[in-house]
Amino acid sequence: MNLPAFEDVDSAARQIAGVAHRTLVATSRTVDARTGATVFFKCENLQRGGAFKFRGAYNALSRLTADERRRGVVTFSSGNHAQAIALAGQVLNIPRVIVMPSDAPSVKRVATEGYGGEVVLYDRDTEDREAIGRRLARDRGLTLIPPYDHPHIIAGQGTAARELIEEVGALDFLFAPCGGGGLLSGSAIAARAMAPGCMVIGVEPAAGDDAVRSFRTKTLQTVKNPKTVADGARTPSLGSLTFPLVLQYVSDMTSVDDPTLLETMFYLWERLKLVVEPTGALGAAAALDGSFPIRGKRVGIILSGGNVDLAQLPEWIGRR
């Protein structure tokens, strides 16, 4: 399969125009004073479906043939991709089956069902979601739409960074969360084309730092069911498309531990009034922790999602 390029991100931007939100770019004097940088937050927590994933989902689904649309789609996801496929399918009137872990945050499952997706649950510890997805695809003639390793998904996710740079101009740094690498590789493709000097930094939870290790060793590394509050980045590894793209376009990778991540999430809630979920705060956590020389620089941070499960709040506060 051909790796997506900037023309695919451009094409995705045209495809989603008027359907996906062109999200807010937020700034904060408090953050700028704290970092000495000029920081721009791309608020994908305010995107339809509560995360950037609607961009890729709509881009992929809207490009299916009439026959594929009629038969429907299937996907597997810990939450936000599921919600995005459910919503994009609703907008496009495409039947959709979502394979979700039984321990996914209930807010995500309820939202997915609310958008009219058919949810099939599996046990994260004993069952293989990809195998279940493939079986459903085969048995029911559905098109499998994976959460990140798909050219239309990657190109769609790249439109967030494309919009950000289009709006604020060239950046010196761009921080993006990384799970399976769809958002990160799409962002990096856009940044390379629009702001060639921009350092693109991918950020993972420390417990699931497979992509950091893959980036350093240039050999694909995996992690099994990492325990982290960043539930949107518990993916086992980068994909066959996202791994080469990350190696080609990303400048550096780093990870943040859960206490730092929660601290940053609450900071964004309290100081910027922006409700982000733990995974959505990964980029901000790395940008604010002082490990990159951002002082005096123009810095973009993708706040990737805002689907918070408030039932987890007491536990999060306890772990701060």
Interface with ligand PLP by CB under 6 A: which range of 20-28, 182-190, 251-259, 292-300? 182-190
Q: How far apart are CA 65 and CA 258, in angstroms?
A: 42
Choose which of 26, 104, 183, 190 interacts with ligand PLP (CB under 6 A).
Answer: 183
Q: How far apart are CA 21 and CA 58, in angstroms?
A: 12
Q: Taking CB positions, which residue lies at the least distance from ligand PLP?
A: 305
β-bridge pairing 96-101 and 252-256: unpaired
- Whether 123 is catalytic is no
Minimum separation from the CB atom of position 182 to ligand PLP (A): 3
Minimum separation from the CB atom of position 303 to ligand PLP (A): 8
Contact 304, 279 (CB under 8 A): yes
Choose which of 101, 180, 205, 300 interacts with ligand PLP (CB under 6 A).
Answer: 180
Site string for ligand PLP, 71-110 (x = CB under 6 A): ---------x------------------------------
Interface with ligand PLP by CB under 6 A: which range of 15-23, 66-74, 247-255, 272-280? 272-280
* Interaction of residue 235 with ligand PLP, rule CB under 6 A: yes
**What is the helix (H) or strand (E) element at residue 159, kind and residue range?**
helix 151-168
Q: How far apart are CA 157 and CA 125, in angstroms?
A: 29
Interface with ligand PLP by CB under 6 A: which range of 8-16, 90-98, 276-284, 291-299? 276-284
How would you class 122 by CB atoms within 10 Å of its CB: exposed for 0-12, middle for 13-18, buried for 19 or more? Answer: middle
- Whether 187 is catalytic is no
β-bridge pairing 173-177 and 143-144: unpaired
* Interaction of residue 228 with ligand PLP, rule CB under 6 A: no
Q: How far apart are CA 65 and CA 170, in angstroms?
A: 37
User: Rounded to 5 degrees, what are φ and ψ at 106?
Assistant: -60, -30
DSSP calls for 278-291: TGGGHHHHHHHTT-
Q: Which active-site residues does the annotation give?
A: 53, 78, 204, 208, 210, 304
Question: Where does this chain bind ligand PLP (CB under 6 A)?
Answer: 51, 53, 80, 147-148, 157, 177-184, 232-233, 235, 277, 279-280, 304-305
